[in-house]
Amino acid sequence: MMVPTGRAAPEGDDFLHRQKLLCDRDEAEALAREVHELLAAGRQEELHELLDGYYPADLADVMDFLSDQEKSALFHLLDTDDAAEVLDEVDDPTEQHLIRTEEPERLAAILENLAPDEGADVVGGMEPDQAAEVLGLMEAEDAEEIRELLRYPRDSAGGIMSTAFVSVPETATQADALKLFRESVDAEEIFYIYVVDASGALKGQLDLRRLVTAAPETVIGDITTPNVLHVHPEADQEQVANIFARYDLTAIPVAEEGTLKLLGVITSDDIIDVIQEESDEDAMHSVGSDAGELEQRHPAQVALMRMPWIMATLFIELIAGFVIKVFDGTLAQFLLLASFMPIISAISGNTGLQSATIIVRGLSTGHVRLSDWRRALARQVTTTLILGAACGAVLGLIAAVWSGKWAFGMVVAIGMFVSVNIAGVVGTIVPLISKRLGYDPALTAGPFETAFQDVVGISIFLGLATSLMHWLK
């Protein structure tokens, strides 16, 4: 057994009984088999003891390996605290199944154990009638906080912010602020106290160390850090994540545009979830797919979702076939050229995809800006010039040795050099153009762009080969 870092070890003789286990994905699958056996045998007492030894986040992983009926049975065995954490950790299809099959009264109790922003995510996935019923069964204050958060899109700053924070009037004293802090037991962010004026507008923030070291009669407004960095509730969650990374933040307040009324706070744990979500989405887009595939959709739905990208790739690759047909005379005369076509196509396509990935990532993190596109293009061109020269020299030398003709090696070297650089330029400018037109640049960095670069690479190589070989004759 192992005590996870960050949790204080309990004292006393019951330490070994109370500590929990951490498990990885393979262990979660093995645990799921054990849960399956205990459920099938109806040995609920043993199952209770087993579940009590693991963290809710690990139990959420276990659910990935259970049937819907088993998920419901397992979820029903958990107390409301653990059930709340499990509901927050499971994937969307599992969450949807659990909230459809759970009693409204228990759902209300579970939501009261979740942070308001997490509860809003769950309620946002319910049917309107079910959401109204569950909210009506909750404590009025908890339900109102969730309703407020539901006003904002799920992927916005307002959608991920928490309303559990500590704020004090700027006219309060240090003693008053400490009293408010002690009474705010449900506050999610404990490192900062946010200072507001009489209308609730954000005036600044105060870190806990400065607060506790001030004299009791000190006016809070006198020790407040003004002009604190904040975001508006409509800001995209990816933009908020970039701000966190750029300024090394642990929390950021969310304030209404214009009035600066303090609405909530976004903490680092919220941002970790955002980064994971955006990373998964970009990974799926980069292969011409969608992040929804991670949510265990039906294979037919997945096929329909991927079909447009696969068909687009197919037709673009047909253009490459047409290009080869146009240059069949050259290939008939110089059959050895065909041996080098897949290599040049693969290397140029890979170079272009690398350039596209760098640009997409830069646009996502803010390191690449559309207004500074010339600099981004110049950096990528400089890089591909070096890569193209190195690859061209190596492949040209190999071609010269294989064919026994230096002229043939020169043709291959120049073809590789030019193809790699054209692909690099295409991989750089296509995501920039997509972003300018309002499309997701990650969508253009997948198979569609790779196929396009195949066409470019083969066309340039065969065109150059035809011209140079005839000239060298």
Classify residue 329: in a domain, yes or no. Answer: yes
In the β-sheet with 202-207, what is the strand arrangement from edge to edge?
Answer: 167-169, 192-196, 202-207, 225-226
Q: Of 70-84, 183-197, 270-284, where does the model show the most confidence?
A: 70-84
Classify residue 405: in a domain, yes or no. Answer: yes
Q: Which stretch of DSSP H or E encloses residue 318?
A: helix 299-326
Same domain, 90 and 172: no
Is the pLDDT at 270 greater than 60, yes or no? yes
At 103, the pLDDT band (50, 70, 90 cuts) reads very high
Taking CA 373 as the corner, what is the angle to CA 368 and CA 374, rounded to the nearest 5 degrees? 130
Same domain, 467 and 414: yes
Other beta carbons less than 10 A from residue 77's beta carbon = 15
Confirm if 316 and 391 have CB atoms less than 8 A apart.
no
Question: Can you give the pLDDT at residue 8?
Answer: 38
Classify residue 386: in a domain, yes or no. Answer: yes
At 13, the pLDDT band (50, 70, 90 cuts) reads very low
Q: What tokens appear for 410 in the block?
A: 């020169």
Is the pLDDT at 272 greater than 60, yes or no? yes
Classify residue 280: in a domain, yes or no. Answer: no
SS3 state at 473: coil
Same domain, 212 and 107: no
Confirm if 381 and 421 have CB atoms less than 8 A apart.
yes
Is the pLDDT at 373 greater than 60, yes or no? yes
Rounded to the nearest 10 degrees, the angle between the axes of helix 237-247 and helix 337-365 is: 80
Question: Can you give the pLDDT at residue 299?
Answer: 64
Mean predicted lDDT score pLDDT of the chain: 80
**What is the three-state SS of 392-410?**
HHHHHHHHHHHHCCHHHHH
Q: Domain boundary residue among 154, 180, 196? A: 154
Q: What tokens appear for 229 in the block?
A: 């960095």
Classify residue 3: in a domain, yes or no. Answer: no
Q: What tokens appear for 252 in the block?
A: 């950021």
CATH label of the domain that carries residue 453:
1.10.357.20
Q: What is the rounded distance in angstroms from the CA atom of residue 126 to the CA atom of residue 323?
A: 53
Is the pLDDT at 389 greater than 90, yes or no? yes
Same domain, 354 and 448: yes
Among residues 442, 460, 432, 468, which one has the least CA distance to residue 349?
460
Question: Can you give the pLDDT at residue 219?
Answer: 95
Single-letter amino acid code for the residue at 456: V
Same domain, 421 and 335: yes
Average pLDDT over residues 126-132: 91
Q: What tokens appear for 345 in the block?
A: 């196509």
Q: Domain boundary residue among 115, 130, 154? A: 154
Q: What is the rounded distance in angstroms from the CA atom of residue 98 to the CA atom of residue 362?
A: 38
Question: Can you give the pLDDT at residue 317?
Answer: 67
Q: What is the rounded distance in angstroms from the CA atom of residue 289 to the CA atom of residue 309?
A: 8
Same domain, 90 and 182: no
Confirm if 337 and 393 have CB atoms less than 8 A apart.
no
Question: Can you give the pLDDT at residue 275?
Answer: 76
Same domain, 336 and 363: yes
Classify residue 12: in a domain, yes or no. Answer: no
Same domain, 253 and 303: no
| Helix runs in 138-194, H state only | 140-149, 157-160, 174-183
Q: What is the rounded distance in angstroms from the CA atom of residue 448 to the CA atom of residue 451?
A: 5
Q: Domain boundary residue among 97, 129, 154? A: 154
The 10s digit of each residue's pLDDT in 289-333 is 444 444 455 566 656 666 666 676 677 667 767 766 776 666 665
Q: Which stretch of DSSP H or E encloses residue 86?
A: helix 80-89
Please report, in angstroms and rounded to a whole number, the separation of the first and last CA atoms in the chain: 76
Same domain, 109 and 241: no
Cα within 13 Å of Cα(441), Cβ side? 27
Classify residue 8: in a domain, yes or no. Answer: no
Q: Domain tally for the chain?
A: 3
Q: Which residue has the higher pLDDT, 12 or 157?
A: 157
Q: Which residue has the higher pLDDT, 343 or 201?
A: 201
Q: What is the rounded distance in angstroms from the CA atom of residue 313 to the CA atom of residue 299?
A: 20
Same domain, 302 and 253: no
Q: What is the rounded distance in angstroms from the CA atom of residue 335 to the CA atom of residue 403?
A: 10
Q: What is the rounded distance in angstroms from the CA atom of residue 372 to the CA atom of residue 379?
A: 11
Instruction: Tell me what percent of the chain is helix, strand and coil, each rounded to the nearest 5.
Output: 70, 10, 25
Task: Give the Å distances, CA to CA, from 438 to 36, 154, 370, 433, 447.
Answer: 48, 20, 12, 9, 20
CATH label of the domain that carries residue 206:
3.10.580.10
The 10s digit of each residue's pLDDT in 404-421 is 888 778 888 888 888 888
Average pLDDT over residues 79-93: 87
Q: Which residue has the higher pLDDT, 196 or 370?
A: 196
CATH label of the domain that carries residue 117:
1.25.60.10
Question: Can you give the pLDDT at residue 5?
Answer: 34
The 10s digit of each residue's pLDDT in 427-445 is 888 888 877 877 666 655 5
SS3 state at 265: strand
Domain with 53, as residue range(s), is 20-154
Question: Can you give the pLDDT at residue 158?
Answer: 92
Classify residue 351: in a domain, yes or no. Answer: yes
Same domain, 299 and 410: yes
SS3 state at 336: coil
Same domain, 298 and 403: yes
Average pLDDT over residues 163-169: 89
Strand partners, 251: 267
Say which residues have a Cβ less than 8 Å from residue 452's Cβ, sequence separation at least 6: 316, 426, 430
Relative to beta strand 167-169, strand 192-196 is: parallel
